[in-house]
């Protein structure tokens, strides 16, 4: 008959007990580099915090911010690639954006900056620039419709900023992009 307690199926059987006691493990028999002194071997307790990485090559990369100069190169790359008369923009999205990234990487600005940017990141940045600039173009058009006698271009621009802020609850900070793209409305509103 089974020597285990029928009410407790997890009680030790003779063979399990024998296995535990036959392995002459003693606390402290391992070097301190393997087990911390306050945690016994085979304990369910975990040491405080995860182990730190010592290899600097494995450390995570810091997120690179987009500068106005980067944005201008992205805009230029998008415009030059989308207006290419030979190839045109009638191509698959991935192919188009890879061509935009190649153009971006071939510029002196990108070569000076060091690390290349992936085509997907360039696409995402263009979409953000496009969305924000389109929104500001709408605000500028609304400001132009409200022009009164004696208002200058500066007054219209200030009113456009006010309209943009009222609509979106944030300041428009891509005026440099808007200045490049404002006369390209028919082109840059077509998102790839």
pLDDT tens by residue, 88-124? 656 777 888 898 899 888 888 888 877 788 888 999 9
Whether 58 shows a pLDDT value over 90: the answer reads no
8-state DSSP, 150: T
Question: In 3D, which of 190, 182, 191, 187 has the Cα closest to residue 143?
Answer: 182
Q: What is the mean pLDDT of residues 145-170?
A: 91
pLDDT at 117: 86
Whether 5 shows a pLDDT value over 50: the answer reads yes
Please write the tens of the pLDDT for every residue from 130-139.
999 999 999 9
| Average pLDDT of the chain, as a whole number | 74
In a domain, 42, yes or no: no
The whole domain housing 130 covers 68-188
Q: What is the mean pLDDT of residues 12-24?
A: 48
Distance of CA 101 to the CA centre of its chain: 17
Assign 87 to helix, strand or coil: coil
In a domain, 15, yes or no: no
**Alpha carbon separation from 176 to 71, 124, 150 (Å, rounded):** 9, 18, 26
pLDDT at 191: 43
- Do 172 and 132 meet the contact criterion of CB atoms below 8 Å apart? yes
In a domain, 11, yes or no: no
pLDDT at 85: 66
Instruction: Look up tokens 């029928």; give the residue.
Output: 6
In a domain, 63, yes or no: no
In a domain, 136, yes or no: yes
In a domain, 89, yes or no: yes
40 — pLDDT class (breaks 50, 70, 90): low
Whether 32 shows a pLDDT value over 90: the answer reads no
pLDDT at 181: 86
CA distance linking residue 82 with residue 192, whole number of Å: 9
In a domain, 2, yes or no: no
pTM over 0.95: no
In a domain, 74, yes or no: yes
Q: What is the mean pLDDT of residues 141-147?
A: 91
Number of domains, the chain: 1
């Amino acid at each position: 008959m089974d020597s285990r307690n029928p009410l407790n199926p997890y009680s030790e059987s003779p063979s399990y007990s024998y296995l535990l006691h036959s392995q002459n493990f003693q606390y402290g028999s391992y070097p301190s580099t393997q087990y911390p002194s306050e945690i016994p071997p085979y304990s369910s307790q975990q040491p405080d915090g995860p182990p730190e990485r010592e290899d600097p090559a494995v450390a995570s990369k810091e997120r690179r911010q987009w500068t106005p100069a980067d944005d201008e190169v992205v805009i230029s790359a998008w415009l030059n690639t989308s207006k290419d008369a030979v190839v045109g923009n009638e191509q698959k999205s991935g192919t188009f954006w890879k061509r935009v990234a190649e153009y971006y990487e071939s510029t002196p600005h990108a070569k000076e900056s060091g690390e290349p940017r992936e085509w997907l990141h360039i696409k995402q940045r263009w979409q953000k620039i496009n969305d924000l600039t389109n929104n500001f173009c709408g605000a500028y058009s609304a400001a132009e419709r409200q022009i009164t006698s004696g208002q200058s271009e500066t007054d219209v621009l200030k009113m456009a900023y006010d309209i943009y802020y009222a609509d979106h609850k944030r300041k428009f900070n891509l005026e440099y992009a808007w200045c490049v793209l404002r006369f390209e409305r028919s082109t840059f509103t077509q998102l790839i």
